[in-house]
Amino acid sequence: MTSQRFSDFDLIKPIKQALQNVGYNQPTPIQMQAIPPLLAGRDLLGCAQTGTGKTAAFSLPIIQHMARNRRTRKSGVVRALIVTPTRELAAQIYQNMEMYSRHLDVSSTVIFGGVGQGPQVKSLNRGVDILVATPGRLLDLIDQGHIDLQKLEIFVLDEADRMLDMGFIHDIRKILVHLPEKRQTMFFSATLPPNIVKLAKSMVRNPVRIDVTPEKPVIESIDQRLMLVDMKEKSNVLMNILMDEEVRKALVFTRTKHGANKLVKLLGRADIRAEGIHGNKSQTARTAALAAFKAGSVKVLVATDIAARGIDVEGITHVINHDIPNVAETYVHRIGRTARAGCRGISISLCAPEERPFIKDIEKLIRQSIPVFSEEQYLATVHLKPAPKPANRPRPKPRNRQGGGRAQNQQGRGQNRSQQGGRKNNTQGQGRRNPGKQRRHGNY
């Protein structure tokens, strides 16, 4: 049953063409297992999380169904509905749908809260085949009469366990009331505890059951590091790490929204391009930050856990825990953002003494101890090429007269070196092994 290449699937040419365009050759395990039965119209109960390729696993059969069974579009009438917990995930799924259906006359749209409903309603009025939605906005627009699900053919519930964690169970039940009995249902969840299985069973009929658990191999391809630092020193250490040129795309996690904002400001003052993403930001700002990070125009994305849920950005070289999560599983989710698609990645956790118990829990969960590095060891052994020094970085205030004189001196020498060109910075790297001399951000 399992094909090895997309060309072996019974997919129509325009879809295969789109897959070629995006450079997918080999289906992922979930795609191998899910696509054939979904194309045959079966229901599916999938235990899989973001990062496994599950979006394409459900999107390709949906697109093919729409392309093969054309209907005249009617205002507000939706033929396939994907419900997912966060705005970021919804936007991501929609982008994938658009990408895979680029050579076909299949229309999709996305709706979520936090932005005006006007453009979303307009798009629904034009008639869409595929709708990607978060629960709240979906119910709002159903209640207002902008969405008609009576003719729905395919329903996907994505990240069911997170939906329940986030308190969406009542919304899901309300949505189900609007769906016709006869439909194809695909149910995805990263975990399948009994309450989720019960919910799934109330929705699917004779489903194909698929389990893919990517967690272990992902962890194995991440170089995990632990740095023991005082809480008040964390931002300085973080800046030193981020200035290294090997850090090309870094996702930094903070515990609070306020912490994320503060950090973005600090990094900005040190000429490190960073954007924040958290629940208090407008959707427009979140989308723009994510797009800039994806495109590489912003090197650092500072995020809280909720906002970062499901974010899938290729090429994240470093995940840095500015704060250690107090839930061990969160650590696994966080660091899993690097080392995607067979690449290696680095995770660095900055741990203050009061956070040590959290690390103990994490190590118990991942069944390994995380190697401890001092800042000096880290900079010396992992990242020998420090970032060139930006010309207009703010100067540290002298601690006393003598110290001030030295600091000025260091600064001056550093500038000369960077004027000589990037490679010469190796000497600067040697110097950075002595944090006392090189603490250039001590006042932030």
> Among residues 26 and 221, whose Cβ is nearest to ligand AMP?
26
DSSP code of residue 302: E
b (16+ CB within 10 A) / e for 225-246: bbbbbeeebbbbbbbbbbbbee
Token pair recorded at residue 438: 């090189």
Answer yes or no: are the C-beta atoms of 60 and 51 closer than 8 Å.
Answer: no
CA distances from 82 to 90, 153, 289, 314 (A): 8, 11, 24, 23
> Among residues 181 and 314, whose Cβ is nearest to ligand AMP?
314
What residue type is 5 in one-letter code?
A: R
> Among residues 32 and 203, whose Cβ is nearest to ligand AMP?
32
Which residues in 280-319 contact ligand AMP (CB under 6 A)? 312, 314
Which of these ranges, 51-59, 168-176, 179-187, 417-425, lies near ligand AMP under the rule CB under 6 A? 51-59
Question: Shortest Cβ contact with ligand AMP: which residue?
Answer: 55
Which of these ranges, 22-30, 108-116, 174-182, 382-390, lies near ligand AMP under the rule CB under 6 A? 22-30
Residue 225, beta-bridge partner list: 348
Q: How many CB atoms lie within 10 A of CB 271?
A: 15
Question: Least Å distance between CB 53 and ligand AMP?
Answer: 3
DSSP code of residue 324: -
Question: Least Å distance between CB 22 and ligand AMP?
Answer: 7
Cβ-in-10-Å burial (0-12, 13-18, 19+) of 50 comes to buried
Of the residues 52, 184, 240, 254, which one makes contact with ligand AMP according to CB under 6 A: 52
Question: Least Å distance between CB 331 and ligand AMP?
Answer: 20
H-run or E-run covering 124: helix 118-125
Question: Least Å distance between CB 400 and ligand AMP?
Answer: 52
Residue 51 touches ligand AMP, criterion: CB under 6 A: yes
H-assigned helices in 3-42 = 13-22, 29-39
> Among residues 30 and 133, whose Cβ is nearest to ligand AMP?
30
Residue 214 touches ligand AMP, criterion: CB under 6 A: no
Of the residues 34, 35, 50, 139, which one makes contact with ligand AMP according to CB under 6 A: 50
Answer yes or no: are the C-beta atoms of 80 and 130 closer than 8 Å.
Answer: yes
Give the interface size with ligand AMP as a residue count (CB under 6 A). Answer: 15
Which of these ranges, 48-56, 77-85, 123-131, 151-159, lies near ligand AMP under the rule CB under 6 A? 48-56
Give the span between the Cα atoms of 46 and 383, in whole angstroms.
Answer: 40
Question: Least Å distance between CB 281 and ligand AMP?
Answer: 22
> Among residues 293 and 358, whose Cβ is nearest to ligand AMP?
293
Give the span between the Cα atoms of 226 and 375, in whole angstroms.
Answer: 10
Phi-psi region of 116 (alpha: psi -120 to 50; beta: other; left: phi over 0): beta
Of the residues 14, 53, 325, 345, which one makes contact with ligand AMP according to CB under 6 A: 53
> Among residues 124 and 163, whose Cβ is nearest to ligand AMP?
163
Residue 56 touches ligand AMP, criterion: CB under 6 A: yes
Answer yes or no: are the C-beta atoms of 137 and 90 closer than 8 Å.
Answer: no
Which of these ranges, 46-54, 60-68, 242-250, 299-307, lies near ligand AMP under the rule CB under 6 A? 46-54
Which of these ranges, 45-53, 77-85, 205-213, 395-403, lies near ligand AMP under the rule CB under 6 A? 45-53
Answer yes or no: are the C-beta atoms of 250 and 242 closer than 8 Å.
Answer: yes
DSSP code of residue 281: S
Give the span between the Cα atoms of 267 and 259, in whole angstroms.
Answer: 12
Which among 318, 349, 345, 346 is positioned nearest to 331, based on CA atoms? 349
Contacts 24+ apart (CB under 8 A), 262-268: 263/235, 263/238, 263/302, 263/322, 264/302, 266/235, 266/239, 266/441, 266/444, 267/239, 267/242, 267/300, 267/302
Which residues in 312-371 contact ligand AMP (CB under 6 A)? 312, 314, 341
Residue 86 touches ligand AMP, criterion: CB under 6 A: no
> Among residues 28 and 185, whose Cβ is nearest to ligand AMP?
28
Which of these ranges, 49-57, 143-151, 249-257, 293-301, lies near ligand AMP under the rule CB under 6 A? 49-57
Which residues in 25-44 contact ligand AMP (CB under 6 A)? 26-28, 31
> Among residues 4 and 408, whose Cβ is nearest to ligand AMP?
4
> Among residues 77 and 93, whose Cβ is nearest to ligand AMP?
93
What residue type is 330 in one-letter code?
A: T
Residue 54 touches ligand AMP, criterion: CB under 6 A: yes
> Among residues 92 and 235, whose Cβ is nearest to ligand AMP?
92
Of the residues 24, 172, 213, 223, which one makes contact with ligand AMP according to CB under 6 A: 24
Site residues for ligand AMP per CB under 6 A:
24, 26-28, 31, 50-56, 312, 314, 341
